[in-house]
Each structure stands twice: as C-alpha cells, then as structure tokens.
Structure 1
C-alpha cells in the first residue's frame, strides 16, 4: 500500500482542487459546471490505480479495506461501471457474509443495491450493472419483482453476448416462478428453448410448469381458488415434492389474494425454516407481516 501513497495524495489534491474550481466558477456563472477534460482524464487515471489496489485487497481477503477505495474510485470516475458493479457485489455478498447480526446483514444487502442504483444513474444501460442488481435482488434480497424489473432491462441492454442472453432468460424465468407469475415464467422458458433447441433445462421447465402449475394459476385468477389450493396441496403430498418451492409460492399467493394473509405468511415462514437459502420466502414473510400490522392498526370503519 505504501507505493500508492503518491496516488492517494494526488487524489486528495484533485478532489480539493475540483471542489474549489467548481465552487468559484458556479458562483460567478450561477450554473452547474463540469470539470475540464484534462481534470476528468486525470481523475480516471487515478481511479484505475485505486481500482488495481482494491483488487489486491480483494484477492488477499482484506474485505473492509476494499469499500473505501471503491467509493473514491467511483467519485473520481462516475462512468466506471465495473467499479460500481464490484462495489455493489462486494457489499451485498462479502460484507454481508462477515456480519453475524441478521438485521445488519439485510442492511448490507440494501446498501449494495443502492450502490448499483447509483452506478445506473451514471450508466443507465450498462448490462453488468442491470444484471448485477437483478441477480442480487433475487439471490440476496429475495425481491422477485425488483429482480424481474432489472433483469428485463438487462435482457434489452446493449453490449451482451449470446450466453448472457441465455443466462438472463433463465434468471428471469426463476424470478417469475417464485413471484409467482407462471405465465411470464413460461414465456421466458419458451424463448430460451427456441433460442437453444438442445437446451434440456428450458424444455424440461416448460413441460413442468404447464403440467403442474399453469392450470392452478389460471383457476385461481378466474375465481376457482379453492380448487387451485386443492391442486397445490395434493401436489405437495407427494414425497418428492415435500420441500418444493414453486408450489408453496403459488399456494401462498392464492391465500394472499383471498385475503388470508396469516396462512400466506405461515407457508413462507415454514419454507424459510426448511430452506436456509430461500431469501424469497423470507422477504415475502417480512413484507406480508408489515402489511398485516398495518391492517390491524387501521381504524375500523
């Protein structure tokens, strides 16, 4: 780190000079100003140097030293999408993993998502940021609606490869399965199967969703919720489906749509106990509990 002392000194001088220049010019012109190209180029060069040091800290396991460098890196070069991507992932995964308190672990994930969102303000169509925030929302936060929103944007973003498109489609399908929105999940599995005819995962998922879940979802949406509940409960009685997640998400949603929030919460809480790596159930249980509290506090009409 000693050899980066000169870089850190230059960063401090650059930040101070940039602040003074913007302050003096904006006070005279009373408008927002941008830095000269030479200053921005210098900032980008220093950002690259700090980026290299942050990678050294990452590779040597010094997680807590990475974040300050990444913060300065993105300040020097707001268009450095890769730094935002790494910072968001680092916070939501590494710093979360180091935390023991569950509430603080959840806060680290939220902070990681905020970093991704900040990066998207400066790089609105960057594929890596859109996919990163969508993946983190699905895998760590458990918010399938938020995940689907960003993954849909990632699917239409420029600068991606064919394998990226396949992966995004798969992730979108998984997010919709557990939202649940079986018809949208089917749409993306079918598109994946058409794009890769020899993809057994996409073909198998399409068959499974049609045979097991599409009919129950359609019945529920058309007012036959009792029959839809019976279909899902019969499915869950099979020994090999005891711990299946999709039917439980669908069953909980049917109960929620009926206004039986308590039953929906109970299903998600039970799934959380069985599946320690099922943040979608944990997120829904938390959100629905808040909804139940609001309903209980609402004055009777």
Structure 2
C-alpha cells in the first residue's frame, strides 16, 4: 500500500475516533427523547434487494460503508449527501442516481431534516418541470408528498417538515384543505410566526372565509402589530364576509351580485374569483362555476387549484378538457381513499 493511502486511512480513522463521543451523545438523545432508531443495515440491504433503493451505486464508496458499519451513520450520511449534490448538478443523466442516494441518506439518518426537505423539493418541483406529461408530473407530486410524510413520521416533534408538507400542498398540489391541516399540525410545536398566517392563507384560497378570518384573528391576538394579518382581516370583512353570509342564508343571487361588484374593481383578483366560483357551486349553477374557475385558471398559469376545479366541472358538464397533474393527483387520492373506506367493515358487518 502506498504511503499516501496509509496516511489517508490514519486520518479517517482518527476522525472517526474523535467523533465517537458525539455519535454516542446523539444516540443517547434519541433514546431519551423517544425518537425512532434509524433503519438497521440489514433492512436497508433487504430493501436494496427488493429494488427500493440502490446500495451498489458509485457514490457509496468503501469509506462511506465503513463509516456506517462502524457506527458512524451520521458521518456516512453526511459524506453521501455531499455526493448527491455532485450527481444532481451533473445533469439529468445522474439525477435518478442522485435521488437513490438521497433516499439512502434518509435511511441512514432519518432525523436529519434537510435530506427529506431537499429530496421532496427535487421531486415535486424540479423533476415536475422536467416533463410535460401530466401523469408523470402527478406521480412526482405524489412522491414528493410521500417523502415528506415519511419524514414527519420520523420527526413528529418538530414543526419543520409539517410546514414543508403543508407548503407543498399549498403551493404545488394546491389542495388547500390538506395544506391547512398540516400547517395547523405544526402549531403544536415551537414554530415561527409566519406559520399562523399560512393557515389563514390556505383557508382564504380554499375558500373558507370564516375559518380564514378566525386564523387571522388568532394571529392578531398573539401579535396585534402583525400588519399582514390585520390587512387580511380588513379585506375579508370589507369584500368577502357579506357575500358569504348571504350564501349561508340561501340568498345566492345577492351573494353573487356582491362579489361581482368587487370583481368590477379587480377583475383578475384570484381570491375574488375563487370565492365566486365557490358561491356559484353552492348556488347550483355549475356552468357559471366552471366559467369562473376557468377564468381564474386561464388568468394565472400557477393557479393549479382553479385549473383543477375547472377540469372537474368540465367532466361533470361533458365539456372536452385536458386533465391537469393536480386533477390526476386528486383523482388518485380519491380512489385510494375509496379503497381504504371499502376495506374497513361497518359496525353491522363485524363478526361477533
């Protein structure tokens, strides 16, 4: 063995010995805090044999494997994570390999939040825009969401991944009900103030005006100087609360008349169009609802929620349309939920 190789191994072994107390401290904290243990190596190998991940990729060098087997999983994960960036920046040819390595990092050190966040981002955002196939785009959305849900399951006592998942639902899937749910869940743990506002934003875009107002009022109780929340409550009360009340009273014509008045001043207002689309649906005017949602979707390439609602109503009306990734995603979720509901026997059918 050449002299420089011997020196390299001595340095690596020395670093491992120096990091041993830190590694033990991390394991102790996990035990005390009740966090799940990382996936054992034999299970990772079994997953690799089943085709879920790829242990024989170039990035997994002997040094990395040695570090992991020697009890330095965090060190191995860090070294591997550096390799994923190298692969990803090399272009599309190595991006799939980079994703496999990212997945391996989450198995090695599931309590490290950055790999979950970045892996989901690459799936739901970067790979999403690499294709024009709506079915494939919906698959990437699903993979990104699933990645973050698994990350939350490993780190249930930290707000970060709840918010990241909520934001993916809010910004990319535009399933605002799910977004609000995950934003709300993050509030059980210490979190930055902007999370409270995100809850209100999600209810606004849904739209659910009373719940949006409640969310912003809650934020103002915590911080009366929050200008964003204050402005939102003023806008809601001036423009949208009265049409909503008329809708709840069954006075749909009056509700639509009021919202049209606001649209005269701001014809491209996303929130006003969302509210009008919802009001039209509640009034039973499917054609008007379709035209309103389509107008909102056509007016903003990023209004995936409006585009999805327009597709759903187009199918209902028998109007030819092209399915969007978000529509395909939501349909898949509905089918999955239906299968799950069907697999649970009713109380009357339970065997005694």
Interval containing the TM-score (normalised by the shorter chain): 0.7 to 0.9
Structure 2 runs not aligned, ≥5 long: 1-7, 13-39, 48-67, 319-352
What residue in structure 1 maps to residue 176 of structure 2? 144
In the other structure, the counterpart of 2:98 is: 66
User: Is the contact between residue 96 and residue 109 of structure 1 (CA under 8 Å) also seen in structure 2?
Assistant: yes
Which string of whole-angstrom CA distances, capped at 9 and with x for unpartnered residues, describes residues 205-234 of structure 1?
111100110111111112111110111112
Give the 3-state SS of the residue equivalent to 1:146 in structure 2.
helix
Q: 1:91 to 1:218 in 2, by over 3 A?
A: same
The alpha-carbon deviation at position 60 of structure 1 amounts to 6.5
After superposition, the Cα gap between the structure-2 partners of 1:40 and 1:90, relative to the gap in structure 1 and judged at 3 Å, is farther
Which of 95, 109, 131 is 2:163 aligned to?
131
Aligned residues, how many? 259
More deviation in 39-48 or 226-235?
39-48
Aligned to 2:84: 54
Greater helix content: 1
What corresponds to 1:201 in structure 2?
228
Residues 44 and 107 in structure 2, CA contact (< 8 A), matched pair in contact too:
no
Cα pair distance change 1:46/1:99, threshold 3 Å: same
Q: Choose 1 or 2 for highest CA Rg.
A: 2
Once the two structures are superposed, the pairs formed by residues 27-106 of structure 1 within 5 Å of their partners are 41-57=71-87, 64=95, 65-106=97-138
Shift of 1:143: 0.6
1:1-301 equivalences under 5 Å are 14-15=41-42, 19=46, 41-57=71-87, 64=95, 65-158=97-190, 160=191, 164=192, 166-238=193-265, 241-289=266-314
Deviation at 1:136, TM superposition (A): 0.8
Structure 1: distance between partners of 2:280 and 2:270: 16
Contact 1:141 1:283 in 2 (8 A): no
RMSD (Å), alpha carbons = 3.0
C-alpha displacement of 1:58: 5.0
